[in-house]
Structure 1
Amino acid sequence: MVSHLGGCQCRRASALAVVRGRARSALDGTGLSSECRRSASRSARGKATARGCLSRGSAKTVSLPYKIATLLYCFNAADEVLLLHRAQEPNRGLWSPPGGKLKTDIGESPYVCACREAHEEMGLVLKPTDLQLTGLISEHGYQGNTHWLMFLFEVKPRLIAVPPPHAEGTFQFFPRAALGGIALPETDRESIWPWFWQHRGGFFGAHCHCHEGGRNEWTLEESSVSGGARTPTSA
């Protein structure tokens, strides 16, 4: 009887060792199954983590500084838009709306930032109610060095003169039809300007994933188009 029990115990111990050995061979050093390791090797089909396998097609993310800025879309009585020929980076040598970065260290709001930048760059005295938030743009990895969050404001009062040159560059009014013939940032040309014109008086939110090699992947995340009449004032 003792000999029979001892044999059963040996067989059970041997079977348990085999099971444990198979379990160890099915896992790597992080505890991932062989299936997850195979999935991780196919980056286009997802990534593996210690909790399991991520969904396929996950976008590559990059850790970069995140900056918040405002852009000011100013018009004259002829509905020409004011652009800045930038003398500084980013977008040096290109035409873009004036604006600037929020003072995040003091908790500055986007509206206050826009009013401050309007005064510093163009000599305009604005208040938050003079601004219409038309768009919100996030850019992942713009120019490979920065993530951006940008608030796009249309300035309601109409400008009556071209602002004088500034350290950031020189100003000029352009009719809408002329924008296709001037040097613009590629992201502006691709999507931001078309969406701005489409949503003028409404609102849109969009995200751009800037890939290596210059390819931009856009997602329109919110769209509200307004067909209401606009009544311009003067600044």
Structure 2
Amino acid sequence: MNLPFKISVLVFLHSEDGKLLMIERRKAPNMGCWSPIGGKLEMDRGESPFECAIREVGEEAELSITKEDLHLWGYVSEKHFEGEKHWLMFMFDCKKPLKELPKTIDEGNFAFYTREEIDEIKVPPTDRDLIWPYYDSHRDGFIALRADCHPEKDLKIVVEESIGI
């Protein structure tokens, strides 16, 4: 299927007591769902995934970080997401903790959740199978995933590389 292709980042930020920062999205994709912060690469500027992660953390969480504060723990290539586009999403864990909850922004409002609480809140349906299990098992290592997310088919996940489990 010939669909537009988008490149994005997700950044998993933590409070000083280890809770994860989540944003309740006010815009598509994933409107009305909770997810880690992130956004699309500014490809017209040649922005790298690390540059995008640093920019998004500054814009959304008002936290100044460097590439040394980030660990790229994986990526996922999502085909047919919501039947509208393909995504290549780079996933980072941020080692620099947040001292307080960021202010509400146009993108949505923030809250801190324990990892267990995230299993109970409204997250994008594919994240339950595609993001969170691999965050649990690979956030200190690396994983490369390919997923067919066609809305009329069962989610199909292929592990292309796995380091550190």
Give TM-score scaled by structure 2 length. Answer: 0.96
CA distance in 2, matches of 1:204, 1:86: 26
SS at match of 2:119: helix
Q: 5 Å matches for 1:190-229?
A: 190-213=129-152, 215-225=154-164
Q: 5 Å matches for 1:25-64?
A: 62-64=1-3
CA distance in 2, matches of 1:102, 1:150: 10
CA distance in 2, matches of 1:140, 1:110: 19
Q: 5 Å matches for 1:164-179?
A: 164-179=103-118
More contact order relative to length (CA 8 Å, sep ≥ 6): 2
Return the offset for 1:220: 1.2
Q: How many residues align?
A: 165
CA distance in 2, matches of 1:153, 1:110: 9
CA distance in 1, matches of 2:153, 2:94: 31
Superposed CA RMSD in Å reads 1.1
Return the offset for 1:79: 1.2
- Aligned partner of 2:40 in structure 1 is 101
State whether structure 2 residue 100 is matched by structure 1 residue 161.
yes
CA distance in 1, matches of 2:78, 2:25: 19
- Aligned partner of 1:130 in structure 2 is 69
CA distance in 2, matches of 1:191, 1:201: 17
- Aligned partner of 1:232 in structure 2 is none
Q: Deviations over 1:43-68 (max 9, x none)?
A: xxxxxxxxxxxxxxxxxxx1100000
Aligned residue type for 2:84: N
Structure 1 spans left out of the alignment, 5+ residues: 1-61, 227-235
Q: Percent identity?
A: 41
Structure 2 spans left out of the alignment, 5+ residues: none
SS at match of 1:150: strand
Greater helix share, 1 or 2? Answer: 1
Return the offset for 1:213: 2.1
Greater strand share, 1 or 2? Answer: 2
